[in-house]
Chains A and B, each alone.
Chain A
Amino acid sequence: MNILKRKFSLASLIILSTPAILIYVYFLIYPLMQSVVFSFYYWNGLAGVAKEFIGLENYITIFSAPKFWNSMLNALWFLLGGFVVLMPISFVLAIIITSKLKGVRFFRSAFFMPYILPITATSLIWIFLLYPDGGLVNNLLEFVNISSINWLGDPNIAIYTVVLVGEWISAGFYMLIFSAGMMAIPNDLYEAARIDGVNEFQRITRIMIPNLSETFRTFSILCITSSLRTFTLVWVMTGGGPNNATQVPATLLYTEAFQSRNFGSANAISTVLLFLALFLSFGVTKLISLFAGED
């Protein structure tokens, strides 16, 4: 009787976990594995045409293509921008929303808002504001006598523009990451510092920053992984153009597959992306904790 009941229980546990596992495996894990397998095949995307095994040729193709390395470089700009621009901004914003200023609730809601809106919408809004003739940004620059800049049309600066818009979107998110860390710092530390007559600058550099090492670690990991994931922002704002100048790995893989119909090399790009993401997620965590361990 008891054994029967146990068996029944096991069966119901399997039934309960099956739907999630099935959906997850069929629509996410299985396609990922397929893209790894088919990165070794040639295929032009036509349904009736058989795939042809060609070994490492797709990888040779993409690794010798300048546009692939350019897309990697652009991902690197997202990463670099994250550390140089985004980190200070979101750090300052976090100080503001954890302070006792009046209207803090309003600031917090406002700062976070861009992050939750559809990227399509925010991208369209920025295309419009950055319009070279008579867009708001160039109009404001006219006041300080800077001649108009073709923000998204100039291949030399388009990528920086997109990176900055990306930072405008996610500043509010990283602000929350930092503010969570700041609120975890015990209040008596500040209290003791106040009694010792510590000024605002020292309060930040001597107390806040040393106590936020965990948060900086989180920031680094998120920043690294998300720089590889950028797609919609670039796709809507520039479509990877002008002249492939703003391609990031994800948009390049999409263009290669669905516009140039090079499914083989697109699968190779997506495999590189997959392993890079896994390596960075695990590797960087390990690496950082190694460095932190030495401190």
Chain B
Amino acid sequence: MMKKLKHIIAFNRSKFIWYVVAVIWSLITLAPFVVTLISSFKDNSEIYGHMLELPSVWRFENYVMAVQDANILLCIWNSLRLTMMALSVLLIASIFVSYVIAKYWNKKPAKLLYGFFALGLMLPIYSTLIPLSEIMGTIDGFNNYSIVALIYVAFQLPMSVFLITSSMKIVPLEVIESAIIDGCEEFTMLFRIFLPISISGVATSAIIAFMAMYNEYILPIMFITEDSKRTIQQGMMYFKSDVLVQNGPLLACVILALVPVMVMYISFQEAIREGMTSGAVKG
């Protein structure tokens, strides 16, 4: 009896320690966001030194400034538009090429093609920036969403091809062979056999690419200079470049910028976590 009790106490003690650690790290992760949210309703004098206090006056005008001066809603809309353009091209291109790879998975050229794309997972994309800026100059790509979107696509292709191919590879060879004997054409094969089986892989890669593209920083900074075309990353920096940084509106921009990502995260947590880890473990 005593022994059993001791066991329970010991067990609960270790459980208690894990709990404390978990709560502390939750505070460390979440507190910055809470402080940001509170501070986005304050002015500078109320922010510094009083970060954990609620604002005495809730200054909604910070949000009005974010919308009117930094044009943050337009920036969010621009980011979403650019992301959706890139995403549709990315999905079509990577579904097609993954189909070709998966269908001939046992053949050498398909494996080579796969390796060629997988190589992209290791390349440092920042090494492309200088030549890219030159290319963009010659093809008049600056401020041109369709061309900037194609760069987004190029940067995301390795991950998408990897994720979609691995979900298409599970189609058994016999199914493919008998479909060929039955005279099944490429498109029928793709849309009737390969796509339905890989739909969750396609969805995962779509979500991951969405997050990566919406969060993309350097490409819009380099290639989008027109005010009306600025993306959310540039929108967030709007008040930062002020001589006197106005923290309230700046943080209001940050909070608004987080909304689309948070919505995506809350709706697709499982897929995001699964996709990001499986992509990383292999890559």
Interface set of A (CB-CB < 8 Å, partner B): 5, 9, 12-13, 16-17, 19-21, 23-24, 26-28, 30-32, 34-35, 38, 47, 89, 92-93, 95-96, 99, 101, 103, 106-122, 124-126, 128-129, 131, 133-136, 139, 168, 171-173, 176-177, 180, 199-200, 218, 222, 225, 228-229, 231-232, 235-236, 250, 253-254, 257-258, 263, 266-267, 270-271, 273-274, 277-278, 281-282
Contact = CB atoms under 8 A, between A and B. Distances in A.
Contacts of A266: 130
Contact of B29 (A5, A111, A128, A131): A111
B221 to A, nearest CB: 9
Interface string B85-96: 000010011101
Contacts of B117: 20, 24
B258 A117 contact: yes
19 contacts: A13-B100, A16-B99, A19-B89, A20-B97, A23-B89, A23-B154, A111-B26, A117-B261, A124-B240, A125-B33, A128-B250, A134-B50, A135-B51, A173-B276, A229-B125, A232-B218, A270-B127, A273-B124, A282-B122
Given A17-B96, A27-B150, A35 B131 contact: yes
Interface in B7-48: 10, 14-15, 18-19, 21-22, 25-26, 28-33, 35-36, 39, 47-48
B26 A32 contact: no
Band of interface residues on B: 35 or more
Contacts of A30: 131, 135
Contact of A95 (B18, B150, B187): B18
Contacts of B236: 118, 120-121, 124
Interface string B231-264: 0110011001000000100110010011001100
Given A23-B150, A222-B280, A281-B122, A274 B29 contact: no
B30 A38 contact: no
B155 interface: yes
A270 B126 contact: yes
Contacts of A107: 22, 25-26
Given A23-B154, A235-B217, 9 more contacts: A12-B185, A16-B99, A17-B97, A24-B157, A27-B151, A31-B132, A133-B49, A172-B29, A254-B129
Interface of B: 10, 14-15, 18-19, 21-22, 25-26, 28-33, 35-36, 39, 47-52, 89, 92-94, 96-97, 99-101, 113, 117, 120, 122-135, 137, 150-151, 153-155, 157-158, 161, 183, 185-187, 190, 211, 214-215, 217-218, 222, 232-233, 236-237, 240, 247, 250-251, 254, 257-258, 261-262, 265, 269, 272-273, 276-277, 280-281
Contacts of B96: 16-17, 19-20
Nearest to A10: B186
B19 A24 contact: no
Contacts of A106: 26
B130 A35 contact: yes
Report, nearest first, the 9 A-B pairs whose CB atoms are least far apart: A134-B48, A27-B154, A134-B49, A270-B127, A31-B131, A34-B131, A20-B97, A31-B128, A20-B93
A228 B127 CA distance: 11
Contacts of A128: 36, 39, 247, 250-251
Contact of B18 (A17, A101, A253): A101
Contacts of A236: 217, 237
A124 B237 CA distance: 9
B22 A231 contact: no
Given A34-B131, A253-B126, A16 B97 contact: yes
Given A20-B96, A109-B269, A168-B28, A274 B131 contact: no
B21 A96 contact: yes
A118 B257 contact: yes
Q: Which of B52, B96, B273, B277 has most A Cβ within 10 Å?
A: B273
A229 B131 contact: no
B230 to A, nearest CB: 13
B120 A24 contact: yes
Contact of B26 (A110, A131, A139, A199): A110
B48 A47 contact: no
Contacts of B32: 122, 125-126, 129
Contact of B273 (A17, A124, A176): A176
Contact of A32 (B123, B211, B240): B123
Nearest to B254: A121
Contacts of B124: 228-229, 250, 270, 273-274, 277
A16 B100 contact: yes
